[in-house]
Structure formats: C-alpha cells, structure tokens
Amino acid sequence: METKISTRHGHLSETTRARITSKLEKLIRFFDRISAIEVTIDLERRDTPSVDLKVSAKQKHDFVATSRSEDLMASIDQVIVKMEQQLRKHKEKVQERHRGSGHRQQGAAKQSGSGGE
C-alpha cells in the first residue's frame, strides 16, 4: 500500500507525517484491497486546516472524504472516521451481495428437495 501526504500553503514536520501515516495504516483493517492512500492538507487557513483523503482500492472506484476543524490532528481523526464508515459500508455491501446469492441457491435446493418427499 502506498501512502502519499501532500501539503498546500505550508509544510509538516516529520513527526506529524509519521503520526498521520500510522493512523492511515489502520484503514487496511476495514478493507484489505486498498492500493493507495493520498492525503492533501491545506494549511491556507491555519486556524481551520482542511484535510482531503482519497483511498484507491483494487477493482473499485476511489473513496473520498473531507474534513475541516480547528486542529490539524482533529481534522485527520474526523476524516479517518468518515473513511472508515465508507469502507465498512462498502465491505458490508459486497459481503451481503455474495451472501445473498448463496442463500438463494440453498433455499431453492431445499424447496426442490422437500417437494419430492
């Protein structure tokens, strides 16, 4: 998984970048097909930094989340929570799609089996 952190109108210290990277790596728990994560931090308004998060997944469109808060790390936490919700919802949708077809096949087999008795 590739993680890219870019900044507009300022720069971040290496410690801050490391903290952000460690938080972003936890997203893989929610969806294991993540191929790349891009974070863009806009520091134009220092009192309310904006954070854009884009997660690219294999064989799926990109997931995007945005947050603005009074503190940079609070913005990061908020955007990660939003992304976790998107990834969790997508994973549940995929699992439900696969689960649904199996139940239909089993149900059809039970109905055809009970009719012959």
Structure tokens at 79: 């955007």
3-state secondary structure of 45: coil
At 1, is the pLDDT very low, low, confident or very high (cuts 50, 70, 90)? confident
Structure tokens at 15: 């410690």
Q: What number is the average pLDDT over the span 58-83? A: 91
At 103, is the pLDDT very low, low, confident or very high (cuts 50, 70, 90)? low
Q: pTM for this one?
A: 0.76
Helix (H) or strand (E) holding 3: strand 2-8
Q: What number is the average pLDDT over the span 21-43? A: 89
- By the 8 A CB rule, do 90 and 60 touch? yes
2-110 maps to which CATH number?
Answer: 3.30.160.100
DSSP 24: H
Distance separating alpha carbons of residues 112 and 115, to the nearest angstrom = 5
State residue 71 phi and psi, 5-degree precision.
-130, 140
Provide the pLDDT for residue 60.
73
> Residue 41: which of 31, 30, 53 has the closest Cα?
53
DSSP 12: -
Place of tokens 């199996």: 102
Rounded percentage of the chain residues whose pLDDT exceeds 90: 45
Q: Looking at per-residue confidence, does 100 or 63 come out higher?
A: 63
Provide the pLDDT for residue 98.
74
Domain limits, the chain = 2-110
